[in-house]
A and B are shown apart, each in its own frame.
Chain A
Amino acid sequence: MLADTLNQAGHYWTYVGVGYGAAFVVLSAYSVRTVRRGRKLSRRLPPDQRRWM
């Protein structure tokens, strides 16, 4: 109801909010997944095989 009212008034804040929110959620989820998987896999290799350390 509030979204319709705002959008009819030409503000379009709902679309903007969902767009920004979705972008940051997707990026955060992918980042967390990548970092956690990296931590998990790196435990299975000795540090001398992780050349960036």
Chain B
Amino acid sequence: MTSAPANPLASGSEPDQTDAAPVTERRALEGTGSRGSRIVGTLALISLAATALYGLVLSPPDANQGNAARLLYIHVPTATVAYLAFGVTAFGSAMYLWKRTEFWDLLAGASAEVGVVFTGICLLTGMLWGRPIWGVYWVWDARLTTTLLLFVLFLGYLALRRVLVGSPSRAKWSAVAGIVAAVDIPIVHYSTSWWNTLHQGTTISPQKTQMGGLMLFTLGLGFLSFLLVYWWLMIHRFRLQYLETRLDEVGLDTAIAERRAEAGRAGTSGPTAAGPELAEVR
């Protein structure tokens, strides 16, 4: 890393080619976006708009729950995508422990953060749905409690990653934590079968589907749109995590070079004796 052409941490250290480029061209060179991410992002926006249109306007109100059931089109897809996100974290963690390559660690970390966002939305929409139907925002029901536990476990996972920044064992311990936290996913999923809960059981399964027509279509659209949003967020979050790691490394290398330069200055009397290390830092 010390072989980098310039210290990228220094302010105003953008490469020469971007300094000379026009503003629009420079913006295209910056950031975590790419042609592929822009296509996924556009599709996600279109499908989200369609979900809102169908969920709020075109789909009929439920016979029992009225318009409150419209929250289904956000609540269930976000819960499912959160399962997927934490599943990806567990898979990435296991792969890291096996292969020990940076890619799997970055994948696990990025997916956990996106999963926490989706779990937060799931909990929020669930509370807003529970108030008119159950009469309360929250009950310590098995499904709600295990979902909250999942949320807290992955917040802890993210906190662990932050605490161990710069530590060589961060990826290893994060991977262990990611796998342990993911044990809660099947517990959340089967909680309505294993315990008597206020939360309703499975509505859609290969054996039985208690929903039809436009409502089922809207729910499918919700799944598609939140999957696309997850995909888009993952592209950006993964690249952001990659940038953060590279900058951490550069920062560490710079600190080591500065320390060596200080030691060189302390050990010799003349500035020329500091050698190439000092010249590199300057």
Contacts and interface: CB of A to CB of B under 8 A. Distances in A.
B265 interface: no
Given A27-B121, A43-B30, A44-B8, A37 B240 contact: yes
15 contacts: A11-B67, A15-B71, A20-B56, A20-B71, A20-B74, A24-B48, A38-B236, A38-B239, A39-B30, A41-B243, A41-B244, A42-B32, A43-B30, A45-B247, A46-B15
A18 B132 CA distance: 13
Interface of B: 4-6, 8-9, 13-15, 17-18, 29-34, 48, 52, 55-56, 65-68, 70-71, 74-75, 78, 117, 120-121, 124-125, 128-129, 131-132, 229, 232-233, 236-237, 239-240, 242-244, 246-247, 250
Nearest to A22: B124
Interface of A: 7, 10-13, 15-16, 18-20, 22-24, 26-27, 30-31, 34-35, 37-39, 41-47, 49-53
Nearest to B14: A43
B52 A20 contact: yes
Contact of B125 (A22, A42, A52): A22
B163 to A, nearest CB: 20
Interface of B is mostly: helix
B17 A26 contact: no
B124 A44 contact: no
Contacts of A51: 242
Chain B CB count within 10 A is highest, among A31, A42, A45, for A42
Contact of A35 (B4, B32, B74): B32
A15 B68 contact: yes
B31 A42 contact: yes
B157 to A, nearest CB: 17
Given A12-B68, A41-B240, A44-B247, A35 B8 contact: no
B32 A22 contact: no
Contacts of A20: 52, 55-56, 70-71, 74
A47 to B, nearest CB: 6
A15 B233 contact: no
A42 B121 contact: no
Contact of A12 (B5, B67, B124, B229): B67
B253 to A, nearest CB: 13
Contact of A46 (B5, B129, B232, B244): B5
A43 B15 CA distance: 8
A19 B117 contact: no
Contacts of B242: 51
A41 B247 contact: yes
Given A11-B66, A22-B128, 10 more contacts: A15-B129, A15-B132, A16-B70, A19-B71, A31-B232, A38-B32, A41-B240, A42-B30, A47-B29, A50-B243
